[in-house]
């Protein structure tokens, strides 16, 4: 069902020609069309346009220089287009429907899509949130120099990082939600991970790492080397981690399609290598406890 009421729109005059302004607030935007009349959509971004196969031949789509030209060759039932920003992968949704033009009807004005006021600047950040001043006062009551504001998030950074890492590894790239501030971190794939899960018959190898606001997430591939099914328990992990998330709770026996999974390890202020127990620690009792070390788990 086509949703027409979700967009805030109004008209402005520009060079004697009206332009309809639609604010993108993660709600599909309605852009009606008329058969035989071309309508222009300005997005001020380099975008790719995705549409359903059944629209081929019914709708002509041309995109250049931040402008999209839509021309319906026949009536079109309510359908949805995807506008993907080539630079960062962000997707905007546009609902279209084409009807026959009536005699005397004026041509539809061009449309311009702008960022809405309530759209978060990054995933995990609260919209319309202004950082509060963290300035302290001296004994005379005079304010000291403002300290850098702490990042404001609607979702904790470890959660944002874990979700982003999982999407980067397993989701189609076109579906990965862009997150401003996240940067990929170089990682030595030959890092020794023998102390990560020493009580489990597993083979571990690093896949990739990302950071955000002082937190790091490292994706580690785990493969079962035994002939038994394994249950994965984060309490068995050895190291100093803020959070740990397994892609799957169980591993199938070696050789099965389910014998491999990924664990996402979040650390703060340092990467995975500095958060692991030294490889020289080899005395581990069968219950997962350590002897001869007081390192944090």
Does residue 178 contact residue 90 with C-beta atoms inside 8 Å? yes
pLDDT at 106: 84
C-beta neighbour count of 77 within 10 angstroms? 11
Least confident of 81-90, 92-101, 114-123: 114-123
> Does residue 45 contact residue 85 with C-beta atoms inside 8 Å?
yes
CA-CA distance, 245 to 217, in Å (whole number)?
Answer: 10
- 49 - beta bridge partners? 83
pLDDT of 86: 77
At 32, is the pLDDT very low, low, confident or very high (cuts 50, 70, 90)?
very high
Between strands 183-185 and 29-34, the pairing is: unpaired
SS3 label, residue 49 = strand
Mean pLDDT value across residues 81-91: 82
| Phi and psi based region of residue 124 (left: phi greater than 0; alpha: psi -120 to 50; beta: remaining) | left
Residue 166 backbone dihedrals phi, psi, to 5 degrees: -65, -40
- Cα separation, 160 vs 63, in Å, equals 33
Query: Residue 208's pLDDT is what?
Result: 92
pLDDT at 6: 38
Tell me the C-alpha distance between 272 and 220, whole Å: 10
Of 192-201, 228-237, 280-289, the one with minimum mean pLDDT is 280-289
Across the beta sheet with 202-212, the strand order is 183-185, 202-212, 215-224, 260-268, 243-246
Least confident of 36-45, 54-63, 70-79, 176-185: 176-185
pLDDT, position 117: 62
Q: How high does pLDDT run on average in the chain? A: 79
pLDDT interval class at 12 (50, 70, 90): very low
> DSSP letters of 185-219?
E---TT---TTTSTTS-EEEEEEEEEEETTEEEEE
Residues 6+ apart with CB under 8 A from 12: 18, 19, 21
Taking residues 189-199, what's their average pLDDT?
90
CA gap 187, 208 in Å, rounded: 7
Kindly report whether the global pTM for this prediction surpasses the value 0.85: no
Q: Is the pLDDT of residue 196 over 80?
A: yes
Q: How does residue 42 score in pLDDT terms, banded at 50, 70 and 90?
A: very high
| DSSP conformational letter for 176 | P
What domains can be seen in the chain, in order of their start residue? Answer: 9-115 (2.60.40.1080), 157-275 (no CATH)
Share of the chain above pLDDT 70, in %: 74
pLDDT average, residue stretch 146-152: 52
Long-range contacts of 229-234 (CB under 8 A, 24+ apart): 229/253, 230/200, 230/201, 230/202, 232/200, 232/261, 232/263
The CA-CA-CA angle for residues 263, 291, 234, to 5°, reads 20
Question: Can you tell me the distance from the alpha carbon of 252 to that of 258, in angstroms, rounded to the nearest whole number?
Answer: 5
Token pair for 38: 């071309």
For residue 280, the model assigns a pLDDT of 57
Q: Evaluate if residue 253 carries a pLDDT over 50.
A: yes
Q: What is the mean pLDDT of residues 8-15?
A: 37
């Amino acid at each position: 069902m086509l949703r027409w009421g979700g967009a805030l729109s109004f008209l402005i005059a520009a060079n004697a020609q009206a332009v309809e302004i639609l604010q993108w607030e993660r709600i599909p935007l309605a852009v009606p069309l008329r058969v035989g009349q071309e309508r222009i959509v300005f997005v001020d971004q380099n975008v790719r346009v995705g549409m359903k196969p059944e629209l081929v031949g019914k709708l002509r789509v041309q995109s250049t220089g931040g402008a999209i030209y839509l021309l319906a060759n026949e009536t079109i039932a309510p359908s949805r287009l995807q506008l993907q920003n080539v630079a960062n992968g962000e997707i905007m949704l546009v609902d279209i429907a084409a009807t026959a033009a009536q005699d005397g009807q004026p041509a539809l004005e061009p449309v311009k899509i702008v960022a809405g006021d309530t759209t978060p600047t990054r995933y995990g950040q609260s919209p319309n949130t202004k950082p509060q001043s963290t300035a302290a006062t001296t004994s005379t009551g005079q304010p000291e120099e403002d300290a850098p504001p702490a990042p404001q998030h609607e979702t904790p950074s470890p959660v944002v990082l874990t979700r982003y890492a999982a999407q980067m590894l397993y989701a189609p790239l076109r579906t990965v939600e862009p997150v401003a501030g996240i940067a990929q971190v170089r990682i030595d794939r030959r890092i020794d991970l023998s102390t990560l899960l020493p009580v489990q018959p597993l083979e571990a190898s690093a896949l990739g790492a990302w950071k955000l606001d002082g937190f790091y997430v490292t994706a580690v591939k785990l493969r079962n080397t035994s002939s038994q099914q394994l249950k994965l328990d984060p309490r068995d992990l050895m190291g100093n981690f803020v959070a740990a998330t397994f892609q799957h709770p169980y591993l199938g026996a070696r050789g099965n399609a389910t014998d491999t999974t990924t664990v996402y390890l979040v650390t703060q202020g340092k990467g995975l290598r500095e958060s692991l127990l030294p490889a020289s620690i080899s005395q581990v009792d069968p219950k997962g406890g350590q002897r001869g070390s007081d390192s944090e788990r």
